[in-house]
Structure 1
Amino acid sequence: MLNEDDVLDVLDLLVDAGVSAWVDGGWGVDALVGHTTRPHDDLDLVLPRHQLDAARQALAAAGFTTVLRDLLPTALALADGAGRAVDLHPVTGSGRDGGDQLLPDGQRFRYPAPVTGTIGGRTIPCVDAATQVRCHLGYPPRDKDHHDMAHLHARTAVALPAEYRASGPGGNTQRDIPYRDIA
């Protein structure tokens, strides 16, 4: 599990190494919401592919040496001895303008330029709300995905697809939130 201080420490570590990373996944949703809404097993980060080696070296120096998943060029997940995990999503392009992630099937996923969010009272770069929704498509939603999308919609009014408007067990537990169809 990672807490807010862990996230900020990793971001600082990467900035010090010259890496332009922006927060994705559950922590990215919480950054857009403005506060931590649930526990997080890992920290998802988008970063320019040409900075991947610098990120790996900086993380290794901080103890992130265990490779949990090597799906490069799509993703690389590392963990430290305390069980904290960082999942890197390299993209072609710059941190300033966004970039394209090469997917396992050869297609590309576009991450637009980062926006700002807040973790632990500090402004950080993160993935925008519409892209967060797109990242949550293509697989059966889990309870944490429903949780994240409900909070993201409530804070940003981002449109949600049908699978995130479901109610009942495993579905949205905040049925009072008005949903719009995704375009």
Structure 2
Amino acid sequence: MEAGDVIQVLDALDAAGVRHWVGGGWGVAALAGRQTRAHRDLDLNVDAEDLDRGLAALGLLGYVTETDWLPSRVELRAPGDRWVDVHPVAFDSAGNGRQHDMDGGFFEYPRGVLVRGLIGGRVVGCLSARQQRLFHNLGYEHRPQDVHDLAQLDQLEAGVNPGPGNFSS
């Protein structure tokens, strides 16, 4: 996934009225304000109430379901080897979110972990550095891209090469 592909997806979701936030590697890039590595896919959190509209908008861009693990996530693929991994998040009246995990539990999105960053000069909703770190430390063996992303988060949190991320949404 290139930055232009990401922006195309986000623009389509905006046009469909879908609330969304970038996570994973592109989420770290958004916090840094620049692409820091190559990305296979776009990890995207969407408001669970908007999921059907979001999937329809992505379908218009040629994305089709490759792997359906709903209610936890659904992975979509489009021509050109473009991938989007959609994670539905249900929000309560206080603004706290929950995403089903694959084992019957939940991932928590406390109010305040949805911030903004930049991708290709475009302001995007994304997960905070704190939330990104939490998800990178869920007990799985880190791949090279995870090690890279954690190092980027270390730099951002230490104020080394600070990006524009984490400004209020």
TM-score of the pair, normalised by structure 2: 0.87
Map of 1:56 onto structure 2? 55
Looking at secondary structure, tell me which structure has more strand per residue.
2
Map of 1:85 onto structure 2? 83
Runs (4+) of structure 1 moved beyond 4 Å? none
Residue type at the aligned position of 2:57: A
Kindly tell me: are residues 19 and 69 of structure 1, through their superposed partners in 2, closer, same or farther at Cα, counting changes over 3 Å? same
Bigger radius of gyration, 1 or 2? 1
Residue type at the aligned position of 2:12: L
Map of 2:122 onto structure 1? 122
Question: Which structure 2 residue ranges, 5 or more long, are not aligned?
Answer: 160-169
Give the percent of matched residue pairs that are identical in Structure 1 and Structure 2: 43
- Cα distance, 1:68 vs structure 2: 2.2
Work out the CA distance in 1 between the residues paired with 2:63 and 2:95: 28
Q: Which moved more, 1:97-106 or 1:69-78?
A: 97-106
- Cα distance, 1:98 vs structure 2: 4.7
Kindly tell me: are residues 42 and 98 of structure 1, through their superposed partners in 2, closer, same or farther at Cα, counting changes over 3 Å? farther
SS of alignment partner, residue 63 of structure 2: coil
Residue type at the aligned position of 1:91: V
Q: Deviations over 1:74-95 (max 9, x none)?
A: 000001011100000001117x
- Cα distance, 1:101 vs structure 2: 0.2
Map of 2:32 onto structure 1? 33
Work out the CA distance in 2 between the residues paired with 1:98 and 1:17: 23
Work out the CA distance in 2 between the residues paired with 1:97 and 1:23: 17
TM-score of the pair, normalised by structure 1: 0.80
Q: Deviations over 1:29-63 (max 9, x none)?
A: 01011100001000001111111100111001110
- Cα distance, 1:120 vs structure 2: 0.6
Work out the CA distance in 2 between the residues paired with 1:150 and 1:61: 36
- Cα distance, 1:97 vs structure 2: 2.9
Question: Which structure 1 residue ranges, 5 or more long, are not aligned?
Answer: 159-183
Work out the CA distance in 1 between the residues paired with 2:2 and 2:156: 21
Q: Given that residues 111 and 127 in structure 1 are in contact (C-alpha distance below 8 angstroms), is that contact kept between their aligned partners in structure 2?
A: no
Paired residues, number: 155
Residue type at the aligned position of 1:154: Q
Higher relative contact order (CA 8 A, sep 6+): 2
Work out the CA distance in 2 between the residues paired with 1:98 and 1:64: 29
Cα RMSD of the aligned pairs, angstroms, is 1.6
- Cα distance, 1:148 vs structure 2: 0.6
